[in-house]
Structure 1
Amino acid sequence: MTVRLPKVRRHLSMRQAGGGTAGTTNINGKSIINIPQTTNDMQTNIIELISNSCGCSQTEAQEYLDSEIRYLRELQEADDLRGDDIGMACSNLGLDLDYQEYFINRLAGA
């Protein structure tokens, strides 16, 4: 009996500043984006996105991000944090909901 595994092809591979790799893997015609990022790498990317979204400096973007995190922590400490609050923080900063993971990690102490 022979078991055949799906073919895996790496279409794109690039080096990230944090030492990880980013790439797109194709398994049976389905694309999977594999981008391991540390919280610091993600924060740098988020600050750039906020800066581009609002047309402000990176310092101002950092302040906006810090403000949203402070607000979420206040809600968390008051035991009033709801699932849509993190999505709203992303929306307030002009970020896709894909970045909710960053906020969850920050609230968890990562």
Structure 2
Amino acid sequence: MGSSSGDSPPLPHRGDADRLRPTNTRQYLDIVAFAARGLWTVTLAGVRPFAFWGAVLLPLLYIPSLYGFGTGQDTALFVELVVWHVASIVLGHGHTPFWSR
């Protein structure tokens, strides 16, 4: 007996999922970069006010560490405070407090 057209497997067709899938690597990387940029923007918007106020208030902690508060690891504490202060300055740059808008 011969095979009829009903016995053969169906031919693949392009569905909606195939149209949404990027076809080349460049397009995929553009999508990933766009998503990462959006995630960074949202994260920075949430962190920026805290970093701004950290940059304002962290220098107050320099005073006890400069005058020898405790013993032993004061140099490490001071260096860590400076690193946190620089990071908060970089991340908090561009924040506008609500009273100056």
Q: Please indicate the TM-score interval, normalised by the length of the shorter structure.
A: under 0.3
Q: Based on CA coordinates, which of the two structures has the bigger radius of gyration?
A: 2
Higher relative contact order (CA 8 A, sep 6+): 2
